[in-house]
Amino acid sequence: MANEIEQSGVVVVDKHEGVTSHDIVFKMRKLFGTRRVGHTGTLDPMATGVLPILIGRSAKASEYLSAEDKGYTAEITLGITTDTEDISGKILTKCDTLPDKSKFFEVCREFVGDIFQVPPMYSALKVDGKKLVDLAREGITIEREARMIHISSIIPEVIDEKRGIYRLIVECSKGTYIRTLCADIGARLGCGATMSALRRTKSGNFTLDNSHTIEQIEKMSEAERASLIIPTEELFYDLEAVKLSDFYARLCRSGCEIYQRKIGTNLPVGTRVRICDKNGFFALGEVREYDEGTAIKSIKLFVL
């Protein structure tokens, strides 16, 4: 088996229905022969689609990921509300009077832009160290603060107008709960709604086009699996790259700050960058303020 030094990067999995994101991580640990495996965003068991898996040293990147955009195709069923806001939950209300498609389309447009969303109780979000979903399963409901999210676009499509079943093609920011979006649309319409299917089509720079199912990966040879690994740098595709000379790259690797005036950059304080040398990307950095001026400081090295 290829050793762990070689097994480092991102593999994009097309998650199947009925398993958790952790189930996928467990399988990938076996397939790639390392315990250092993580993922970049939970998908509920009923959801399918793009789940970037971090292999080897790339697992250290999860807390620093900056890719905000996500893409989803969801199915929404009007006239039903559930405790989980998706079709897997306990039905709370039913409504036989459903709006027509023109009204549905009109309301969908009202959710485009910056909006506030209250995270659902059935979510992995933690409050005081405990997941909301665990509290919900104990029958406990707590107040959750609304958070601002951004919906770039919603394209509604009809599946079955008479039964109130539609498709939503959504582009949104990280942290958006699509089932809550469906529930909020239903509430605005006055008939209620629940999410009846979900497929993530995009996560940052990764799409279904470069993803593979677990079944496909299991059938591959060791060399074929290794060829799926995408460089860690792709996780930070939206950050500016700063290339350092050999001298400054050595200092950076040793934990030293690199003053911008010495390398010809002038980025604002707080800016995160990809730090590269002649061999390519090796660290994530951040511009910080020091007594002698602003400098780039590595905050996570991706080398041995």
Q: Residue 156 is part of a domain; what is its CATH number?
A: 3.30.2350.10
pTM: 0.87
Query: Are 116 and 213 found together in one domain?
Result: no
Q: Determine the 3-state secondary structure of 222 from DSSP.
A: helix
Domain ranges, residue 268: 239-301
**DSSP character at residue 58:** G
Q: Is the pLDDT of residue 286 over 90?
A: yes
Q: CA 293, CA 31: separation in Å to the nearest integer?
A: 47
What would the DSSP string read from start to end of 61-90?
GGGG----EEEEEEEEEETEEETTSBTTS-
Domain identity same for 113 and 162:
yes
Whether residues 257 and 158 share a domain: the answer is no
Overall average pLDDT of the 42-70 stretch: 86
Q: Are 11 and 230 in contact (CB under 8 A)?
A: yes
> For the chain, what is the domain count?
3
pLDDT of residue 55 exceeding 90 = yes
Could you tell me if residue 1 is inside a domain?
no
Dihedral of the alpha carbons of 121, 95, 193, 13, in degrees to the nearest 10 = 90
Q: Are 296 and 284 within 8 A, CB to CB?
A: no
Tokens of 15: 């998650």
Among 159, 179, 203, give the residue marking a domain's end: 203
Nearest to 205, CA basis, from 228, 227, 235: 235
Co-location of 59 and 81 in the same domain? no
Specify the pLDDT at position 143.
Answer: 81
Does residue 21 form part of some domain?
yes
Q: What is the pLDDT of residue 259?
A: 97
Residues 197, 78 share a domain = yes
Nearest CA-CA partner of 78 in 199, 171, 167, 177: 167
Domain boundary among 184, 219, 235: 235
- Residue 268: inside a domain, yes or no? yes
Mean pLDDT of 22-48: 92
Residue 3: is its pLDDT beyond 50?
Answer: no
Does residue 83 carry a catalytic annotation?
no
Annotated catalytic residue within 14, 44, 86, 277: 44
**229 and 199 share a domain?**
no
182-194 residues labelled b (16+ CB within 10 A) or e (exposed): bbbbbeebebbbb
Q: Flag whether 100 is in a domain.
A: yes
